[in-house]
Every structure is written in C-alpha cells, then in structure tokens.
Structure 1
Amino acid sequence: MNILGLSYMYHDSAACLLQDGAVVAAAAEERFIRIKHSIDFPLRALKYCLAEGGLSVGDLDGIVFYEKPFLKFERILKTHLMAFPRSYASFRAFLPMWLNYKLSVPQTIREETGYPGPVYFTDHHYAHAASAFLPSPFERAIILTMDGTGEWSTTSHGVGEGTDIRLDQHQTFPHSLGLLYSAVTAHLGFKVNGGEGKVMGLASYGKPSFRRKFDQAVRIREDGSFQLNLDYFSFHYDLVMTNRKFAEHFCPPRAPESDILPEHQDLAASLQSVVEDAILAMVRSLVARHGIDRLCIAGGVGLNCVANGLILEDTPVRELFVQPAAGDDGASLGAALYLDTLLGGGRDAVEAGGRASRSPSGGALAGRDRWRMRDAYLGPSFSDAEIEAFLRRSKWSYRELTEDDLPARAAELLSRGRIVGWFQGRMEFGPRALGNRSILADPRDPKMKDILNRRVKHREPFRPFAPAVCVEDAPEYFATSHESPFMLLSVPVREDKRGLIPSVVHVDGSARLQTVSARSNPLFHRLIKEFGRRTGVPVVLNTSFNVRGEPIVCTPQDAVSSFLRTEMDDLLLHRFHLAKEDNR
C-alpha cells in the first residue's frame, strides 16, 4: 500500500511516502526551493518522494493531509468574531487566503499533481501523536503533543499501545505553550516559527527575574494544565502577538537586529522557566495517572531540548522518544502513518468524506512489524558519478579520495583547526543536521564558537553549537545515560571535561548532545573515532550546513554555493575534497 502524507499552508511544508507501512522518503519543501519554513504546496518534496519510491501519483492508494482545514477555519471565524472589531485587521488579512486557497485542499492536490484518488484528512494533533508514537521503539507509552495550535487543540495527551492511539485530554486555543513562546519570541525581535530556538539559547544568559511577573500572565495548575491571561496577549485577534500591557508589565519590545540587553536575556530565561514548569508538572501528572514511564513527544514545543533534558532528569520518565521532525514537517509523516493503520482495516475504517477516525486498532500493522525510526536520513542522496559530473562541469578544483580514506582526511583537517563542510548520503528530515549535511569543527578551540557564528553562520554571537560523540563514548564527557541520536536533549557536560571542549559548552555548562552509533551513521561514527584517536578527544562540533536565513543544503550545488560564500576551509562532498585555497 502506497500512502503520501502532506503538510503545507502554515509553515514547514513537507511530504512523506509510506510503502507497506514503512517510510521510504520524507523531506521539507524548503530544502528544494531554498525558502526557509516554506508554506508552499510541497510539489518538489512530493516529486522527490515518489521518485525515491519508484512511483507515479497514479500508484498511490491515498493522499492524506495533516489537519482538517474546515475545523481550523471554524476556530478562526469564531475567535475573530468574538474579538470584533479589534480583530478587523487580522480577519481581513486571513480571510482571502482561506477562501481562495486553504479550504480547497483536494482541488489543489489534484491541480498540482494530477492525482485522481481519494484525499483524506487527519486531526492535526493526531498527526503529531502518530509521528511520535508509531515510529518509536515502545509498544506502550504516554503521548504528549504541544505546539502553537492545530484545529482547536494546542496540547494533547493520551496513550499509545500497539497501533492504537487515544488522546483523551486537550488544551485548546488560545491557551497555548507554543503561542506563548512565539509571542515572547516576537516581543524579543526574532521571527516567529524560527526564532524560538534563539530564545531558548538566549535564556541561558539571563536570570528568571520576571518569573513572578509571569505568574500574572500564565496560570499553571498542579497537573501542568495552564491558562493564559489574555489581557497580556493579542495573538488571538491581532497581527501583533503581545500588547501594551505586556510591554509595561515586562519590558518594551526589542527591535529586530538591535542590541540585546540584560532585560531581554532575563525575559527569555523567565519564559523558559515557565514553560519548563508547565511541561514537567504535566509529565509528572501523566506518569502518575497512567502508570507508564515511557514518553513520546511531538509538536513544535518538542524541539525545546532543554525541557526534554529536564524530563529525563526531573520526572519519573525512564525512556523518551522525541520525533526529530517534531514540527509541522513531521506531521506529514504522522498523517501518513496514521492513515496506514486505518486503511489496513479497509476503507470502512475511515469516516465518510475522507476524515480519519480517532482511534485505529490493529489495522494495516496487524500481522507485521511497526516501522521504527532508527535514524532521520530520509531525504535525497546523490551518487559519486552525479557529484563528479557537476564538479567537472563547473570546473571546480578537487581531489578524489577513497571511502576508506575519507574519515581520516576529515579528522586530519579538523585536528588542524580547519572548518569542514560535510556532505554525505541522504539528507536529514527535520531541522537538525545529524552528520550528513553538517559543518564540522574542532571543539577544543575556545575561539571556534565565535569564528563560526561570525564568519561562517553569520548569526547572533550567543547561539551555541552542538557536540557529536560516539554513543559508547558519551558517558565519559556528558552527565547522562540516555542516547540522543536526534540532537534533542540538552545535558550537562561533565565539569572535568568542559575545558577540553569549550566551543560546544553553553554558558550554563550544558550541551545539545548528538550521540552517533555505528549502525545509524557508520561513516560519521568512523570520523569521530578517528578524530578522537588523533586528538584524544572523541567529540566534534556539529552544526547545520547553512548560513543564517537559508535552509540546510540539499544538493551538491547548494553545498558548493554555501562553501564559497563563507569562510569554511574545506568541503568533503562524498569522496571529493574541495579546499578553499584551490577554489577562490
């Protein structure tokens, strides 16, 4: 059975292809069209997925959309009418897009692709829940989804067992941890749906001095449920997310690109503290209620690696799986997996009109193993022949290596302090570069963080960088017993090791860790091992292969373009080594 999941129209448009219950391809549209967080119909991503599966649109048994637009439109209408006339400007901006485009999903799909078959719809938070639980290693687990908003839900939780997903508690718009984080992100002068990670990084530089003031803006109950005081916010009726009362209560809004002041750092720290308190209380309550110590998380708030690390440190949760594409891109994967469990039981398992029912049991996965997400390498790859043809055609100077020599060459370059673009295998799905579309550097150099932020990434100086370490070596350097294959846990760096890897230690002594196994990425694993053999430090600095404002590179052409426009020293494009001094 061939199922295509799609997400688009809000942010992080993506496509995902399932064949007989297994994900064979998934990618975000931004990587192909080079527009970060693209909302466009994911035509390029869709075409890639079909090509990877050797299919045409006529071979698909179903296309599934990641949410229910009419329910979302109902919410927008109701909330704007309740706030009218204050909501006039926002309503006028939203309405044409909804009437002309967002309510015509089946028609758009058929016009863009020529697909003749049925189009299905899942609930937004069920798509997130499916992306979190169904690919996880657990047979039974608590499920927690948190984002800005779906149709109505902003936080949902329940239990997954086998192929059954039951979400029985929901918080609804406008009370949302995701929108709270986005509102403060905008107030601090960063872009919504992209700048939240910057705020998380900035938080470590501040003190939670506004924490008591947040108690007046956000009420957190003992079970982790929460309620926003809407007197401080305007996102539910306006194009601006915070209002004058918020600015008077906390601090004035920061203009984009202006200096970051201590009060901005403190506001970020206070926000992070509030969100952590809500999440930790929620998780403790869920564990006590269900008696389960395994947890699956998705939704954009799931990208908060600091909160994720605290879940394992400060709650009874013993094992945690966070969907690496936790945002709306990953909802395309979840929608496809969710529909697969339904269609396996026949079309009668789906409600009339193509709406996915709420609790699949058995379905397509009965009698066969569930697909497990052991890595996130689901995007395009390129052959050596394709890459060499491009290099020759473009007349770039390069040296060809053997695959056996490649890790040693990379480790040798890194040990000399050179900054290396690393382009190998299939592109990652999700916002993190995990060793296939990465920029690598030596974490021992205390100046490397500033060099990378200023000369290569062209981004804010407070932004931290992540360490990549072989899974078997991680406990020696990091105070955790948990694997972190998707770079979604922030953990303490052992005090006696912080001086050895200063460029990947955040100001609070933590690091956003990636653990690398020989099974998931043997080439990257060998590189890290070789770097450790040469230097005595088996850790490399790993950051995404892109510059500020651009998506992670997808193609060899993207990689060379980024390499030439920055102060990277070397590019290892599969087996082909481009040195900057030879290509000026």
Structure 2
Amino acid sequence: MNVLGISSFYHDSAVCLLRDGALICGIEEEKLSRVKHDKRFPILALRFCLDRAKIDIQDIDVVAFYENPEKKMSRQIWMGLREGASPEMRKKMLRGLDPGRELRHIREVAGYDGPVDFVDHHQAHAASSYFFSGFSESAIMTFDGVGEWATATYGYAKDHAIDLFEEVHFPHSIGLLYSTVTSYLGFDVNDGEYKVMGLAPYGTPRYVDRIQDLVSLGEGGQFRLNLEYFDFLDGEQMYSQRFVDHFGRSARTPESELEEFHNDMARSLQVVLEDILLQKAKYVHQRTGSDHLCMAGGVALNCVANAHVLRKGPFRELFVQPAASDAGGALGAAALVHARRTGARPTGERMKEIYLGPSSSTSEIAVLLRSTGLRALDFTSNLDALLNAVVDRLVAGKVIGWFSGPTEFGPRALGARSILGDPRDPEMRDRINALVKMREAFRPFAPAVLENEAARHFDINHPSPFMLETCQVISKLELPAVTHVDGSARVQTVDLGQGGRFAQLLQRFNERTQCPILLNTSFNVRGEPIVCSPEDALLCFARSRIDALVLEDFVIDRDVLPPHWELAAEHIPIKRGRAVSHKVYEMF
C-alpha cells in the first residue's frame, strides 16, 4: 500500500511516501523551490517522491493530509466573528475561508482522484514521533503555535493506536508565547525562535517572574495566556502595548545591537518554557505510567528544553522525530492513515537516519562540472584519497562545503548537506558566522561526533543522531568552535557502521588528529534553505566564503573559482516568494 502524506498551506510544506509502512522518501517544498518555509501546495516535493518511488499518482492508494480543514475553518470563523475583532481581521479571516482548498489542490493540481484521509494536526504530530520511536508504548506530548484548535496535546500510544486524552485550545499556546518574545526581541516569527534559544545562555533569568505573568498554569495539562499582553488575534503583531509596558522597553529593531536586556529576556523565556514542559511531562507520566515519552510540534525543536525534560523529568527515554515541526506532519499523517487502514503500525523500529531527499550521481555531477568549466579534483573510485584530501583541508583550517548522498528531511544538516570545520580552531566559529553563514555572532555550531567516542567528550550516555538535545562538553580537548558560552553543545552522534561517507570522514579526521569531532552546520547562507542540488551547492559556494566544495567524488578549491562567479552570485537574489509572514504567526 502506497500512502502519500502531505502538509501545506501553513508553513514548511512537505511530502512523504510510505510503502507498506516503510518510509521511502520525503522532502520539504522549500528545498526544491528555494523559498524558505514555503507554504504552497508542495507539487515539486510530490513529483520528487513519485519519481523516487518509480510510481505514478494513480499508484497512490490513499493521500493523507495533516490537517482537518473543517475544524480549522471553525477556528478561523471564531477569530473573524469574535467580539472585539478588528475590521481588518474580520475581513482577512472571512475572505480567506476556503475549506475545499486542500482537496481541490489534491484533485486538480496533483491530479489524484482516489481516497483522501484528513488527519487532525496534532494527531499527525503525535504519530510522526511515536510510530518512528521504536517504542511499543509511550506517553506523548505535542506543542506548537496552533493546529486547528489544539495548541498542545497529551496522550498515550500502544501498538498501532494513539489516544490523545487532553488538549489545550487556541488562543492559549506555549508556542505563541515563545514566538511573541521572539518577535519582541527583533527576530522573525516562525524562523527566529531557535535564535532566541541560542541567545539564552548569554543572559541571566532576571525576568522569569514577569514572563510568568503572561501565562498561568492550570490543572493537568492546561495553561492559559493572559491575552491582554498579546495582539496576535488581530494579526498585526504578536505583542500588545501592555506587553511593552510590562517589560519597560520598546521592542528591539531587527538587526540592531543586542543588549544585556535582550539576553536576559531570552534566558528568562527559556527558563519558563523548560519549567512548563517539565511540569506537563510529570503530569503525562502520572497519567500514563510509561517510561517513554514522544514529543513533536515546533516546540520540540527546542533541544535545550528537550534535554531538560529528559534529565530532570520522570521518563527513562525520550524520542523526538527530527522534522518535528509542520513538515513532519506529512510523515505523521501518512503513518497514522497506514495504521488506521491496516490495523498495524507502519514500523516497529526506531528511526536512525533521515536521508530521504534527492541525490546526484557522480556522472551527473561530472556533466555539470564540465559545463561550468571549473577545474575540480576527481576522486572517482578512490574514496580513501578523497577522505585524505578533505582532512588535509580541515586540518589546515579550511571551511568545507560537504555534499554527499540524499538530502536530509527536516531542518538539521546531518552530514549530507553540511558545512564542516575543525572544532578545535578558536577562530572557526566567528569566521563561519561572519563570512560563510553571514549570521549573528552569538549563534552556536553543533558538533558531529562518532557515536562510540561521544561519551568521552560529551555528557551523554545514549545516541543522539538528530541534534535534538543538548549536553555539557566534558572533553579533555579544547573545542571552542562547538562549545556554547554555557559549556553546552547540541550533539549529533554518528554511527560508524551506518553513517556512510560522513562517518568515514569523522573516522579519518580522528585518525589524523585524535579528535573524533567536526563542526557541522547546515549548508546554506542566511535567508535561504539548505542546499539540495549540486547547482544549489555551487551557487552557495560562490556566494559565501567557503574554502572548498566537496560534490560527491569531486573537490573544488576556492582558488579555482573565477572572479566573475562571485560577482554573478552576489546579484542572484535569494528567493523570498510567498513564504510565511515573519511579523505575526499566521492563523490561516
């Protein structure tokens, strides 16, 4: 049975394909369209999945959509007709009502005339984590901005059945609380929340009490926002004037200097989030008695909070699916529909890798390079020499663009589309932030480490292949490029037996340096999605200050790049397109 899962029309549209319960492929639309957070119907991602599976749309047995359009419409009608709604919001919500949009696109754009199953948004989140956790039973928590009505759910799953026994309803949302402070601190909503997480260790939690004034915790899983501090219901901005008065400072202008106040606000918000998640984890443990916890939703991408819940909470094991935000809803919808239609869970094994997107063969890349006229070093059929050449450059302090195998599904670069550097170099972090990624100097980079060496260098006693929790650095090595200001790191463990060429590179670097760790960050510059194709990688190479580009079996050094390439790349704009709004969390 072929089940096609789709998420779209909100943010991070994506498609996944399950065949007889096995995950065959998956990709976000943004990586193909090059529009960051692309929310449009994911026709490019759909075509890729069909091509990868070597099937036509008629071979799909059922399409699973990650949201219930009728339930979502009821919330939109409430927003438009509620007492106190602004004329602009009434007009926006009621004019935009289109409960048939999803089905119409599946029929007319995708050309599919078979059965379509709609899955509640948070059910899709829950399924995306539980069914790929390897647990036979588990407690579940999901948190995000909003789905149809739910903003948080709590549940229990066993075998192929998931029971979400409690919900928190919009407009009360921990995700929207975090996004509101994100916006107040001058970062983009739906995009900059991870920046706030990275900024938090620079601050002191001076404003915990004031942030707690914004949200009250109720019995069980419940919580409520004090809506006087928020303005997102009218869709113009996230915070109200009372919010600004409460903290005694105007909102930070984007790109302006970060001050101690902003650091302290970020730290205080992170503390409040961690406390709320821990309290609710204790509640769901008391309700279920499970030793296992599965989390999903955009809030579950907060790896610092995940680590806090695991270390301080009652659960022995935690699983977070790497595409935990709305892109992963496509995966969860497909998995849940498979379970409902077959009476069996799609897989009993834990997800260990997420390389589900497009790849390019050596011959395809060779044709591309010949057409460009670039002089590349060719290591075809000589992997040993390729690894040595890359390690030579890393040891020399070079920054490497690494393109190998299928693209990752989800927001993390996990060794397929990565920028790599020597974690021991004290200048590496600042150099990559300023000249390569072109982003804020406070942002940390993650270490990728061989799994069998991880416990010697980091305070972690289990695999962490998806960079979804933090831990303290305990290494005897100096690792300034991957150690955050609070001594923590967001670790990716790489299994030497399953990690492919990336694991072999780590092993070769370890043999040369006695350091089984590399700095690993996503292969992109600020404002664009992670590169997907060799053409994307070449453009990013020209646009940035990466020293060498590895395209499968080929190595291109920067000194062979013609000067006019850099000039041309500067004039090729990064696509903005019809992506999400970054001033307010979109509600439709």
What range is the shorter-chain TM-score in?
Answer: over 0.9
Letter in 1 for 2:525: V
Task: State how 1:229-248 maps to structure 2 within 5 Å.
Answer: 229-248=226-245
Task: State how 1:23-34 maps to structure 2 within 5 Å.
Answer: 23-34=23-34
1:108 equivalent in structure 2: 105
| Alpha-carbon distance, 1:222 to partner | 6.8
8 A contact 1:124–1:331 mirrored in 2 = yes
CA distance in 2, matches of 1:124, 1:155: 10
Name the SS of the counterpart of 1:379 in structure 2.
coil
| Alpha-carbon distance, 1:434 to partner | 0.1
8 A contact 2:80–2:93 mirrored in 1 = no
Task: State how 1:68-217 maps to structure 2 within 5 Å.
Answer: 68-84=68-84, 86-99=85-98, 103-217=100-214
Letter in 1 for 2:419: I
1:466 aligns with 2:463: no
CA distance in 2, matches of 1:36, 1:188: 21
CA distance in 2, matches of 1:61, 1:222: 43
CA distance in 1, matches of 2:15, 2:235: 31
8 A contact 2:159–2:344 mirrored in 1 = no
| Alpha-carbon distance, 1:518 to partner | 2.1
| Alpha-carbon distance, 1:258 to partner | 1.3
| Alpha-carbon distance, 1:88 to partner | 2.2
Name the CA shift for 1:410/1:17 in 2 (closer, same or farther; >3 Å): same
| Alpha-carbon distance, 1:259 to partner | 1.3
CA distance in 1, matches of 2:133, 2:246: 42
Partner of residue 341 from structure 2, selected from 337, 340, 343: 343
| Alpha-carbon distance, 1:500 to partner | 1.1
Letter in 1 for 2:471: V
CA-based RMSD of the aligned residues comes to 1.4
8 A contact 2:426–2:480 mirrored in 1 = yes
| Alpha-carbon distance, 1:113 to partner | 1.7
1:397 equivalent in structure 2: 375
Name the SS of the counterpart of 2:95 in structure 1.
helix
8 A contact 1:467–1:513 mirrored in 2 = yes
8 A contact 2:77–2:94 mirrored in 1 = no
8 A contact 1:143–1:297 mirrored in 2 = yes
Letter in 1 for 2:450: C
Letter in 2 for 1:189: G
Letter in 2 for 1:252: S
1:13 aligns with 2:10: no
2:565 equivalent in structure 1: none
8 A contact 2:136–2:348 mirrored in 1 = no
8 A contact 1:31–1:554 mirrored in 2 = yes
8 A contact 1:81–1:87 mirrored in 2 = no
Partner of residue 564 from structure 1, selected from 534, 542, 548: 542
Name the SS of the counterpart of 2:10 in structure 1.
coil
| Alpha-carbon distance, 1:238 to partner | 3.1
1:255 aligns with 2:273: no
1:351 equivalent in structure 2: none
Partner of residue 370 from structure 1, selected from 328, 345, 348: 348
1:40 equivalent in structure 2: 40
8 A contact 1:222–1:281 mirrored in 2 = no
1:330 equivalent in structure 2: 328
CA distance in 2, matches of 1:383, 1:469: 27
| Alpha-carbon distance, 1:221 to partner | 4.3
Q: Percent identity?
A: 47
Alignment deviations for residues 454-507 of structure 1 (CA, whole Å, 9 cap, x no partner): 00000011110000000110111111112110001111111x53x611110111
8 A contact 1:302–1:326 mirrored in 2 = yes
2:458 equivalent in structure 1: 478
- Hey, which bits of structure 1, 4+ residues long, moved more than 6 A? none
TM-score normalised by structure 2 residue count? 0.93
Letter in 2 for 1:261: E
Letter in 1 for 2:5: G
CA distance in 2, matches of 1:314, 1:154: 24
1:273 aligns with 2:253: no
Name the CA shift for 1:324/1:231 in 2 (closer, same or farther; >3 Å): same
| Alpha-carbon distance, 1:404 to partner | 2.9
Name the SS of the counterpart of 2:323 in structure 1.
coil
| Alpha-carbon distance, 1:316 to partner | 1.9
| Alpha-carbon distance, 1:21 to partner | 0.9
Structure 2 unaligned segments of length 5 or more: list them.
Answer: 563-588
CA distance in 1, matches of 2:289, 2:341: 31
CA distance in 1, matches of 2:289, 2:62: 37
1:227 equivalent in structure 2: 224
CA distance in 2, matches of 1:289, 1:520: 37
Letter in 2 for 1:12: D
1:512 aligns with 2:511: no
Give the stretch that moved more between structures: 393-402 or 73-82.
Answer: 73-82
1:313 equivalent in structure 2: 311
Partner of residue 553 from structure 1, selected from 527, 531, 545: 531
Name the CA shift for 1:4/1:204 in 2 (closer, same or farther; >3 Å): same
Partner of residue 262 from structure 2, selected from 240, 261, 264: 264
CA distance in 2, matches of 1:531, 1:4: 40
CA distance in 2, matches of 1:261, 1:252: 13
Name the SS of the counterpart of 2:202 in structure 1.
coil
Alignment deviations for residues 367-393 of structure 1 (CA, whole Å, 9 cap, x no partner): x85364221111111111111111111
1:356 equivalent in structure 2: none
Give the stretch that moved more between structures: 402-411 or 204-213.
Answer: 402-411
Q: How many residues align?
A: 559
CA distance in 1, matches of 2:498, 2:238: 41
Task: State how 1:518-537 maps to structure 2 within 5 Å.
Answer: 518-537=496-515
Letter in 2 for 1:147: D
| Alpha-carbon distance, 1:571 to partner | 0.6
Give the stretch that moved more between structures: 370-379 or 301-310.
Answer: 370-379
Name the CA shift for 1:140/1:317 in 2 (closer, same or farther; >3 Å): same
CA distance in 2, matches of 1:400, 1:230: 61
Partner of residue 401 from structure 2, selected from 415, 421, 436: 421
Alignment deviations for residues 18-40 of structure 1 (CA, whole Å, 9 cap, x no partner): 11111101000000010000011
8 A contact 2:135–2:348 mirrored in 1 = no
Letter in 2 for 1:514: Q
Letter in 2 for 1:416: A
